[in-house]
């Protein structure tokens, strides 16, 4: 499904701010894989997501998705294959536009946008049904501006929008990190529900080690721009948070276990 | 009193003719979130192109079409400078504006002023059909027809898939790119449409005042902004998109009425207009912040 081979990325090369973000990443995902990604600050978790999505060009390597080499495609052309949810709940929706308008935009992901009407009657019905599954009452507020929604509501909506048109790969970049624990749980439950409903191949970056263990069928750990640990199946199910912490300490000499990880 | 009434009537018809420009500025300023200064150049480009073509014997309506196309082309230049060459939007607009000045002088054959005294105009056509109408009334009717057409077009266009994508580009660029939209293309389309309407407005204003001047565009952006913010302050940003577009037109008319009233005071001369306009814009744009500060203060007092 997804095949990442030897991807390197250095930000600000040749300057004092030079940062080797990715140091030869190899990653292969089978269809239906739900992979959680953990790692410390600057480990390259978000960078690998952004490389796959095409936010920045890669320096070296190859990214193949659904049999298509997307390594050099601009971001907007890769969108057809990808559903994305960002850490910042403000990022995934257009605040000044209506809920149904946002959904109509997402429903046309990767399709040419012409001069036919931006939203049809049939779509409105479809969107209403989809919103009902969120159980947030948004189906009765379809003409409200998204800016009026809470962070959790916006993130749930973004998730729904990302899966409205089945993506080949769903990229979740710490999409629950900015939410309060209760809302985060709700959004995570929704994530599992949508992923299993459509059998989506998914990459989910998280800072929460419990989530990383309990969600998905495979877990990878990144450190200094490399994948240093890759576990799936029974072995992953039997993981404990303390195992992961030990693993972190082993590779990084303890520096990894920052406050955020311990609190999580 | 009747001279006052005539002045107001003249202001209303001017306001309607200029509102096409304000609607163009609305696309870039409010929908794309770009302050596009090229309009100072493209308004005059539209006026000068129309006037020169009419003097050469072209049909005034066709002349407006060509002027609109010229404005669209200038808008594309601004767009390409910004999106393809990475020049900040405001600077790209300034470059186009300055280039337009030279180009306008070339189009006008080096003359700064192109009179249309005896030439046919859209207004004179209408006057031939209905000789009873005054000059102001014909300008007003032409302006209303044109404005209605432009509002209808914008209402339709921004409801389409492409128009929605364009609005989203101004709203949340990263989001809409993640949804597969080439945001550079959207910005270019917005700038092209915007400057087309601005040039069209310049063309009808030139026909209405029966001359075009290479300097007629100076301050266009500020007048456009004044129209938008006056419309927003008076009519609010509510109901649907058609209402918002109409409020821009009303803002343009109100702006002209304010100017007409200000000019009734002997103290002010036409030379003061640009300063007054700038003050109106600065005031109207700062209303939300002033309002917030006042609210905070009163909330603070209540708290104590």
The parts of chain B modelled with pLDDT lower than 50 are 304
Q: Do B167 and A92 touch (CB under 8 A)?
A: no
Alpha-carbon distances, residue A200 vs A55, A191, A203, B303 (angstroms): 22, 10, 10, 52
Which residue in the block uniquely carries the two structure tokens 């729904």? A160
pTM of the complete model: 0.90
Give contacts of A111 with chain B, Cβ < 8 Å.
180
Residues facing A229 on adjacent strands: A221
Please give the residue of chain A at the shortest CA–CA distance from B172.
A94
Specify the 3-state DSSP secondary structure of A18. Answer: coil
Give contacts of A109 with chain B, Cβ < 8 Å.
179-180
Give contacts of B171 with chain A, Cβ < 8 Å.
94-97
- Cβ–Cβ contact B183 with A under 8 A: yes
Whether the CB-CB separation of B194 and B201 falls below 8 Å is answered with no
Among A51-60, A242-251, B82-91, B223-232, the minimum mean pLDDT is found in: A242-251
Q: Where are the alpha helices (DSSP H) in chain A?
A: 45-53, 75-78, 99-107, 121-132, 151-164, 181-198, 209-214, 233-237, 241-252, 259-263
Average of pLDDT values for A35-60? 92
First to last CA, chain A: 31
| pLDDT confidence bin for A264, thresholds 50/70/90 | very low
Q: Do A92 and B175 touch (CB under 8 A)?
A: yes
- B230 belongs to a structural domain: no
Alpha-carbon distances, residue B56 vs B50, B51, B52, B196 (angstroms): 10, 9, 6, 22
- B60 belongs to a structural domain: yes
Average of pLDDT values for A163-187? 93
Q: Do B179 and A106 touch (CB under 8 A)?
A: yes
Which residue in the block uniquely carries the two structure tokens 């909330």? B299
Q: What is the pLDDT of residues A110-144, one digit of tens each?
A: 899 999 999 999 999 999 999 999 989 999 999 99
**Secondary structure letter of residue B203 according to DSSP:** H
The Cα B143–Cα B204 span in angstroms is 8
Give how far A254 is from chain B: nearest CA, Å: 36
CB-based contacts of B243, cutoff 8 Å, min separation 6? B235
Q: Do A94 and B171 touch (CB under 8 A)?
A: yes
| Two tokens, residue A152 | 């959790």
The Cα B243–Cα B151 span in angstroms is 10
pLDDT value at residue A38: 93
Q: How many domains does chain B have?
A: 1
The structural domains of chain A, with segments of one domain joined by +, span 2-263
* B162, B167, B180 member nearest A80 (Cβ): B180
Residue among B207, B62, B225 at smallest CA distance from B124: B207
pLDDT value at residue B281: 86
Domain span at residue B55 reads: 2-217
The Cα B304–Cα B300 span in angstroms is 7
Task: Mark which residues 118-177 of B lie under 8 Å from A by CB.
Answer: 157, 159-165, 167-168, 171-172, 174-177
The Cα A158–Cα A108 span in angstroms is 14
CB-based contacts of A148, cutoff 8 Å, min separation 6? none
The Cα B64–Cα B211 span in angstroms is 14
Residue B159 has φ and ψ, to the nearest 5°, of -95, -10
pLDDT value at residue B20: 97
Specify the 3-state DSSP secondary structure of A231. Answer: strand
Q: Do B175 and A79 touch (CB under 8 A)?
A: no
- Topology given in CATH for the domain delimited by A2-263: Rossmann fold (3.40.50)
Residue among B37, B51, B22, B38 at smallest CA distance from B214: B51
Give contacts of A80 with chain B, Cβ < 8 Å.
180
Residue among A127, A140, A85 at smallest CA distance from A93: A85
Alpha-carbon distances, residue B298 vs B285, B286, B295 (angstroms): 22, 18, 5
- B282 belongs to a structural domain: no
* A84, A105, A110 member nearest B165 (Cβ): A105
Give how far B136 is from chain A: nearest CA, Å: 37
The Cα B266–Cα B262 span in angstroms is 9
First to last CA, chain B: 53
Q: Do A110 and B180 touch (CB under 8 A)?
A: yes
Number of residues written out for chain A: 264
| Two tokens, residue B87 | 């020049």
Q: Is the per-residue pLDDT at A256 higher than 60?
A: no
Q: Do A94 and B168 touch (CB under 8 A)?
A: yes
CA A157 to chain centre: 14
The rounded mean pLDDT for chain A is 91
Residues facing B257 on adjacent strands: none
Q: Is the per-residue pLDDT at A162 higher than 50?
A: yes
* B159, B172, B181 member nearest A76 (Cβ): B181
């Amino acid at each position: 499904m997804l095949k990442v081979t030897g991807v390197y990325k250095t930000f600000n090369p040749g300057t004092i701010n030079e940062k080797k973000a990715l140091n030869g990443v190899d990653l292969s995902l089978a269809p239906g894989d739900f992979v959680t990604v953990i790692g410390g600050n600057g480990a390259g978790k978000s960078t690998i997501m952004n490389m796959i999505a095409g936010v920045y060009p890669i320096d070296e390597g190859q990214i193949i998705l659904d049999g298509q080499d997307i390594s050099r495609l601009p971001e907007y052309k890769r969108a057809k294959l990808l559903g994305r949810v960002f850490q910042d709940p403000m990022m995934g929706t257009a605040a000044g536009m209506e809920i149904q308008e946002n959904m109509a935009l997402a429903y046309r992901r990767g399709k040419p946008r012409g001069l036919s009407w931006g939203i049809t009657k049939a779509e409105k019905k479809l969107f209403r049904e989809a919103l009902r599954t969120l159980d947030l009452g948004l189906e009765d507020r379809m003409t409200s501006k998204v800016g009026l929604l809470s962070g959790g509501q916006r993130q749930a909506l973004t998730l729904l929008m990302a899966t409205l048109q089945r993506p080949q790969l769903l990229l979740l970049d710490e999409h629950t990190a900015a939410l309060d624990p209760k809302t985060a749980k709700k959004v995570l439950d929704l994530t599992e529900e949508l992923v299993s409903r459509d059998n989506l191949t998914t990459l989910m970056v998280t800072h929460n080690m419990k989530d990383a263990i309990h969600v998905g069928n495979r877990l990878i750990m990144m450190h200094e721009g490399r994948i240093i640990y890759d576990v799936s199946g029974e072995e992953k199910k039997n993981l404990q948070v303390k195992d992961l912490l030990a693993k972190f300490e082993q590779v990084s000499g303890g520096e990894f276990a920052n406050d955020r990880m311990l609190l999580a | 009193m009747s001279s006052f009434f005539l002045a107001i009537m003249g202001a209303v018809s001017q306001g309607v003719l200029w509102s096409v420009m304000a609607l163009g500025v609305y696309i870039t300023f409010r929908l794309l979130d770009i302050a596009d200064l090229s309009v100072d150049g493209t308004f005059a480009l539209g006026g000068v192109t129309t006037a020169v073509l009419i003097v050469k014997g072209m049909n005034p309506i066709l002349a407006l079409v060509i002027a609109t196309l010229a404005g669209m082309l200038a808008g594309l230049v601004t767009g390409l400078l910004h999106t393809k060459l990475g020049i900040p939007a405001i600077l790209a607009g300034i470059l186009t504006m300055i280039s337009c000045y030279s180009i306008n002088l070339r189009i006008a054959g080096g003359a700064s002023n192109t009179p249309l005294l005896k030439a046919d105009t859209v207004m004179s056509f209408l006057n031939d059909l209905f000789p009873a109408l005054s000059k102001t009334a014909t300008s007003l009717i032409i302006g209303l027809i044109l404005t209605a057409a432009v509002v209808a077009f914008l209402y339709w266009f921004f409801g389409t898939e492409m128009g929605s994508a364009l609005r989203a580009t101004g709203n949340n660029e990263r989001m809409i790119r993640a949804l597969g939209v080439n945001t550079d293309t959207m910005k270019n389309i917005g700038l092209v449409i915007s400057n087309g309407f601005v040039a069209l407005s310049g063309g009808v204003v030139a026909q209405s005042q029966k001359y075009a001047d290479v300097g007629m565009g100076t301050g266009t952006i500020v007048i456009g902004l004044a129209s938008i913010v006056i419309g927003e302050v008076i009519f609010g940003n509510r109901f649907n998109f058609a209402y918002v577009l109409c409020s821009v037109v009303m803002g343009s008319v109100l702006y002209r009425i304010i100017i007409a009233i200000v000019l009734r005071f002997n103290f002010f001369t036409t030379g003061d207009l640009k300063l007054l306009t700038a003050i109106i814009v600065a005031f109207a744009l700062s209303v939300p912040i002033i309002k917030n500060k006042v609210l905070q203060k009163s909330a603070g007092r209540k708290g104590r």
